């Protein structure tokens, strides 16, 4: 029987970096699964990163516009009528704060992480933190919770008392096209061999430790890909000034999708010092692009990177500097990590993630599915 799955596509904008990528890739792969129809509810904001026209052109996908932002108080009462009118069997929210407790349909809400819960410094403001915790607790009580790693599942249970079923731990996939032909990054003003970080500039990303480390590695260059978050003070700019490395640090708020693989492939290594994450997709993206990975020694990044990455104490700039210098100089170590990374990353596919998500959606419909058209 055909299952008609609604997807909250309001996160398919440039603002939602990782969440938008997860939603787009899952939609693309779910649309290829037999007996699946998708209704993607998109917002009004347009994106440079996600092509909704391409998604809408797939035979099993319908895109409907809803006049709500990704987090909007109106969703508390509007989803019920929207879903009834669209005839979906089950609703998937790639960002749990988009969900409604009275949607009128079975819902799966993807709770990616518990970053805000970890440290007050990771929250934009006290009112935001309070509202976030209240809304998350409400969603955890009223919908089926999925998450992207076992580390995140443990945090969901710790903070919200909700056990995530093992079948609902749906790891991210990674785009194999990132490992394609290596092209020049001259148009971005980059010269190969730099230390790379990919991710929005937020406190939990711990990027300032890389600036301090680069200052201790003569000749090393640091490229930071990702936009600043205006809700937080800039920790990177002051660190660049403090350590006198303005000539060795490049900040790229935006990189076109078609060049992202090249940015990874031309790097000497990816440095990923996050204090907490839900998953850590840039680690796998770097591995696919055959770039060694140096990551913070925290549980979730150990889970994602396995034995295919090298790990460093997250807050110790001296340790980061030593590991960066070693990786840039030791060709044998680099080659070993590259080979291990390519094999490891190949196990994370969006097709597998989509299959797990569809199975979870079907399990919630209790046999009441749309008759195939």
What is the rounded average pLDDT of the residues 138-148?
95
Q: Does domain 176-345 have CATH number 3.40.50.2000?
A: yes
Residues 156-185: tens digit of each pLDDT: 999 999 999 999 999 999 999 998 888 899
Separation CA 170–CA 218 (nearest Å): 41
pLDDT at 371 over 60: no
pLDDT at 152 over 60: yes
E-strand ranges in the chain read 3-8, 36-42, 61-65, 90-93, 107-110, 144-146, 194-198, 222-225, 249-252, 267-272, 293-296, 310-312
pLDDT value for 373? 34
What is the third-level CATH fold of 3-173+349-364?
Rossmann fold (3.40.50)
What is the rounded average pLDDT of the residues 69-89?
89
pLDDT at 219 over 60: yes
Q: Confidence band (pLDDT; 50, 70, 90) for 367?
A: low
Q: Confidence band (pLDDT; 50, 70, 90) for 306?
A: very high
Q: Confidence band (pLDDT; 50, 70, 90) for 17?
A: confident
Share of the chain above pLDDT 70, in %: 98
Q: Where are the domains of the chain?
A: 3-173+349-364, 176-345
pLDDT at 256 over 90: no
pLDDT at 263 over 70: yes
Largest CA distance in the chain: 65
> Is it true that 3-173+349-364 and 176-345 share their CATH fold?
yes
Share of the chain above pLDDT 90, in %: 82
**Burial of 372 per CB tally in 10 Å (0-12, 13-18, 19+):** exposed
């Amino acid at each position: 029987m055909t299952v008609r799955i609604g997807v909250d596509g309001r996160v398919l904008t440039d603002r939602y970096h990782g969440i938008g990528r997860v939603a787009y890739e899952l939609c693309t792969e779910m649309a290829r699964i037999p007996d699946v129809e998708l209704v993607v509810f998109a917002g009004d904001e347009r994106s440079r990163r996600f092509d909704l026209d391409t998604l809408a052109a797939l035979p099993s996908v319908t895109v409907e516009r809803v006049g709500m932002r990704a987090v909007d108080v109106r969703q508390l009462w509007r989803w019920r009528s929207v879903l009834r009118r669209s005839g979906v069997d089950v609703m998937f929210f790639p960002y749990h704060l988009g969900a409604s407790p009275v949607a009128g349909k079975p819902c799966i809400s993807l709770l990616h992480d518990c970053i805000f819960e970890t440290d007050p410094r990771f929250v934009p403001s006290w009112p935001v933190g309070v509202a976030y915790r209240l809304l998350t607790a409400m969603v955890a009580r009223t919908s089926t919770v999925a998450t992207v790693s076992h580390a995140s599942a443990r945090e969901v249970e710790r903070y919200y008392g909700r056990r995530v079923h093992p079948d609902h731990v749906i790891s991210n996939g990674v785009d194999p096209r990132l490992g394609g032909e290596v092209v020049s990054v001259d148009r971005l003003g980059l010269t190969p061999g730099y230390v790379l970080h990919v991710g929005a500039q937020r406190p939990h990303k711990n990027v300032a430790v890389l600036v301090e480390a680069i200052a201790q590695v003569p000749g090393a260059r640091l490229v930071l890909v990702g936009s600043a978050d205006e809700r937080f003070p800039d920790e990177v700019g002051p660190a660049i000034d403090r350590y006198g490395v303005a000539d060795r640090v490049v900040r790229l708020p935006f990189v076109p999708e078609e060049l992202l693989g090249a940015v990874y492939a031309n790097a000497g290594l990816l440095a990923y010092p996050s204090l907490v994450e839900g998953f850590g997709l840039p680690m796998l993206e770097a591995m696919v692009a055959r770039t060694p990975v140096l990551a913070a020694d925290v549980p979730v990044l150990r889970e994602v990177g396995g034995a295919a990455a090298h790990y460093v104490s997250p807050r110790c700039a001296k340790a980061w500097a030593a590991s960066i210098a070693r990786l840039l100089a030791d060709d044998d170590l680099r080659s070993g990590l590259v080979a291990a990374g390519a094999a490891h990353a190949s196990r994370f596919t969006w097709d597998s993630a989509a299959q797990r998500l569809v199975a979870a959606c079907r399990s919630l419909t209790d046999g009441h599915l749309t008759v195939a058209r």
